[in-house]
Amino acid sequence: MAKLRVPTPKYISHFLYGSHGLLIILAIGFSLCAFFTSHAERDSLQEFKLHITDHFVTSYYVTTFFLLFATGMGIVAQIRGNKAFFWIIYCAILGIMSLVELAVGGSALSKSSNNMNGIRTQLQQNVMETYWRDPDFHKPNHTDRRSDEQKAWDETQIKYECCGLNNYTDWQTVQFGRTSLSVPTSCCIEATREDEWCGINLLPVHPNASEIINEEGCFLKIITNVKFQLHVMGYFGLIVSIFQFGIVGIVSYLLISKKI
């Protein structure tokens, strides 16, 4: 005679269904973390093609998919009478994704906590060092012949009311400033920007620079939001990974004790 299966206690079923619901919410959380982090870089750094957050964003979108897949396995396991095969797949996927989240979250926190000198160097070498001023820029109906990166840097300095990376004297260290002793017009404060030559003869230092240009550097202003989003992403990944390890442990125990 076939052995009758003992029904799963209701409190265990409720716990498992509740875990599925929470995992769906967490999957959405990973997706939102990825979206807002990507948007933060796109908003302030897109034209510079630095790709600071690309692998973090990709990892979290992949995590979203596998969390939803694991949740599906758990739901199928309960619908199919708590088949051990589905629960094993469920635990395996959650366990692996917990390790991935732990690694990616730790990496994101590390990235958000360092001073990003490598990014600073890239901006100086790839954008500021190659910066040039189109001599015909002031002519009517003139088409700007500069690269997107050069235009984007001018837009950045205007948008954030800043000049250079650390401060305006950074322009002294690149060819544009060394040869002209000037800073770009985009460094000028709004009141003086109408004068197309407002940035000339301000280097290496000028006693009245604050009355003519924005002295403060751009780097911290454009990187702050990206670092904040990486910080959020890191802590979210670490906390969720610990929670998932707990779920894996509980489900494994239930499997071993044949309660599901």
Residue 5 lies in a domain: no
Residues 65 and 125 reside in one and the same domain: no
Q: What is the mean pLDDT of residues 30-40?
A: 95
Domain of 165, CATH number, reads 1.10.1450
Residues 105 and 181 reside in one and the same domain: no
Residue 78 lies in a domain: yes
Interval 104-113: pLDDT, tens: 999 999 988 8
Number of domains the chain is built from: 2
Which pLDDT belongs to residue 3?
A: 47
Q: Is the pLDDT of residue 133 over 70?
A: no
CA atoms within 13 A on the CB side of 201: 2
Record the pTM. 0.81
Phi-psi region of 48 (alpha: psi -120 to 50; beta: other; left: phi over 0): alpha
Between residues 133 and 217, the one the model is more confident about: 217
Residue 103 structural domain: 10-115+222-256
Looking up tokens 């001023």 gives: 133
Q: Is the pLDDT of residue 188 over 90?
A: yes
Q: Is the pLDDT of residue 2 over 60?
A: no
Looking up tokens 């732990």 gives: 102
Interval 233-255: pLDDT, tens: 999 999 999 999 999 999 898 88
Residue 60 lies in a domain: yes
Tokens of 63: 């995590």
Residue 18 lies in a domain: yes
Residues 107 and 125 reside in one and the same domain: no
Cβ neighbours for 173, distance < 8 A, ≥ 6 positions apart = 124
DSSP 36-47: HHHHHHHHHHGG
Q: Phi then psi for 107, rounded to 5 degrees?
A: -65, -40
